[in-house]
Chains A and B, each alone.
Chain A
Amino acid sequence: MKQLLVFIRKEFFHVFRDRRTLLIMFGLPVVQIVLFGFALTNEVKNIEIIISDNARDINAQQITDKIKASAYFKVQESVLDYNDIEKAFKKGNIKCALIFPAHFGDDLCHEGKAQVQIITDGSDPNIAKTVVNYLTAIIGDYRQQISPSPTLAYRIIPETRMLYNEEGNGSLNFIPGVMALVLMIVCTTLTSVAVVKEKELGTMEILLVSPFKAVFVLIAKAVPYLLLSMINVVLILLLAVYLLDVEIKGSVLLLFFESVLFIITCLSLGLLISNVTDSQQTAMLISMMGMMLPTLIFTGFLFPLENMPKVFQIISNVIPARWYFIITKAVMLKGLGFTYVWKETLVLTGMTVALLGIALKNFKIRLQ
């Protein structure tokens, strides 16, 4: 036991004296959070829209004002013919055009029916759809205002709510994703590199000749990264709460323990990688490319899993980060308790035990 402590102390020296490691360890989460929080948002804001008002009546003006008041649009007003509008699209000046025909107000008041045209830039279908939705909502809202009493006998007014995230805050979804990603990178990469480094230096040989138990070498290597990753989780959560105004709805303690479980999963994976590689570069490459990409793609935080072909959905089941992502989302955003995530926790625990078992067994076999 005392020997193990001596070893762990040494590992801490290594970590704290290596600026690169520290930078990856603590720089990465901060950069990711800031990037995803402010730059890489999939919310659509400040859409450049041109409003071509050929009617110049009160109704068209009221709708224009409503659009101007919304934070989603940056409005240019000018009467243009179709060709000019297309030119503006081609130049990329605008993402959307709204055209009121002449007699818009007249048609609306006398016939009870009027048309507007919405043109969007379909080269980015996601934005285009979002823009159409926004505009339809604003116009629908206006229609309600001017004729509150339903003229038709039956009208269904759908009232939509985005549960757990009423404001549509984009930060919410990616925080669990970033946590999964950062822990994956930090734990897996740094652990595998730390072990392989000893092999490269030749110190591993010395350690194996010493009476120090081989399994302890792995444990001692993993412990500092376990502790530092726990600090990392706290750091990410603090950034999420204070910088991005994300509210942790569930139990912070539960979230923390689930994170520790996931950290151990990643550490086991890192140890496994270090067993099958002999150089730091290979270890780095496998853990960065081999682990980061699947984590990005198959957790469902960037691309919805439901839209993927069945094969990929099945593959996603073996990605540990996927389960962690589900758990964090449930606990953090929906405020659910352990009774709702025990299945996912069980899957993750199973994976961890399997990975750790293989890593330890493999390590012993390699010595023979």
Chain B
Amino acid sequence: MEDNKAIVCKDLTKQFGDFYAVNKISFEVLKGEIFGFLGANGAGKTTAMRILCGLSFPSSGTATVAGFDVYKQQEKIKKSIGYMSQKFSLYENLTVLENIEFYGGVYGVSRKEIKTRSEELVQTLGLESEAKKLVGALPLGWKQKLAFSVAIFHKPQIVFLDEPTGGVDPVTRRQFWDMIYEAAATGITIFVTTHYMDEAEYCNRISVMVDGKVEALDSPANLKKEFNADSMDEVFYQLARGAKRSGD
């Protein structure tokens, strides 16, 4: 495997009976890159992401994540990645600190490190006064930012974000993306799915999935040029219009 690649997929396929949820997709994600993984509902994004996260096996094709094989080294993959889902994923009846401690502990971060780094984290997020409060009491925007910080707390090589900004106001979304940039600057590869096309513009490169296949893959600027469009919205619309599948 080449050193500067975080994810390499070749002809990756997931088949359920006659149905090709993911149909021979191939792409590469570079280290430290912010990679947008776009597609309408039902296009096969989630299935592809589950394979890359080590949650399910592909039917055929090859893929490596952080240099580990998705068939044989799922456990190693899991240790090298972080994951944040569209659903809010912290425990509401635990405090901010307890949530950090828990997830840090699950990923095997040592207790001493958890202690020092969680204090740092709380400071960076400006949550000093809320650190001992239950997470349930925080506003949604804060929760999402905290969830992201928790997802990269164990310093993974790659972090998978599955529609991380759903239901969040534009200002917080902007702040959220600032955090993503900061994380990318430290060398973490970001693999993000989203339905917001303005967010797609923030990515270094994006791929658009239609009916289980990757139909386009390039930087937002190049894609706009290629499709002769003013915005990513238009690019996405042109591609998704041809889709036969819809809905989850």
Chain A residues with CB under 8 Å of chain B are 2-3, 6-7, 10, 13-14, 17-18, 201-203, 205-212, 367-368
Contact = CB atoms under 8 A, between A and B. Distances in A.
B56 A6 contact: no
Contacts of B55: 208-209, 367
Nearest to B79: A211
B106 A203 contact: no
Given A3-B106, A209-B53, A10 B94 contact: yes
Given A210-B106, A367-B56, A18 B79 contact: no
B102 A10 contact: yes
Interface string B90-104: 111110001001110
Contact of A17 (B57, B83, B93): B93
Interface of B: 53-57, 75, 78-79, 81, 83-94, 98, 101-103, 105-108, 134, 160
Contact of B91 (A6, A10, A210): A10
B47 to A, nearest CB: 12
A203 B91 contact: yes
Contacts of B134: 17
Contacts of A205: 83, 85, 87, 89
Contact of B98 (A13, A367, A368): A13
A321 to B, nearest CB: 31
Contacts of A7: 102, 105-106
A219 to B, nearest CB: 14
Q: Which 7 A-B pairs have the closest CB atoms?
A: A202-B87, A6-B105, A209-B83, A211-B78, A17-B93, A211-B79, A206-B89
A59 B7 CA distance: 103
B87 A201 contact: yes
Nearest to B114: A6
Given A14-B93, A368-B56, A207 B87 contact: no
Given A18-B93, A367-B55, A367-B56, A212 B106 contact: yes
B108 A211 contact: yes
A203 B88 CA distance: 8
Contact of B78 (A17, A18, A210): A210
Contacts of A13: 93-94, 98
A368 B56 CA distance: 5
Contact of B88 (A10, A202, A211, A367): A202
A210 B93 contact: no
A201 B90 CA distance: 8
Contacts of B56: 367-368
Contacts of B102: 6-7, 10
B57 A206 contact: no
Nearest to B99: A10
Given A202-B89, A367-B56, 9 more contacts: A2-B105, A7-B102, A202-B85, A205-B83, A208-B55, A209-B53, A209-B55, A210-B78, A211-B106
A6 B101 contact: yes
B91 A14 contact: yes
A179 B153 CA distance: 45
B85 A210 contact: no
23 contacts: A2-B105, A2-B108, A3-B105, A3-B108, A6-B101, A7-B102, A7-B105, A10-B102, A13-B93, A14-B93, A17-B134, A201-B87, A203-B91, A205-B85, A205-B89, A206-B83, A209-B54, A209-B81, A211-B75, A211-B78, A367-B55, A367-B56, A368-B57
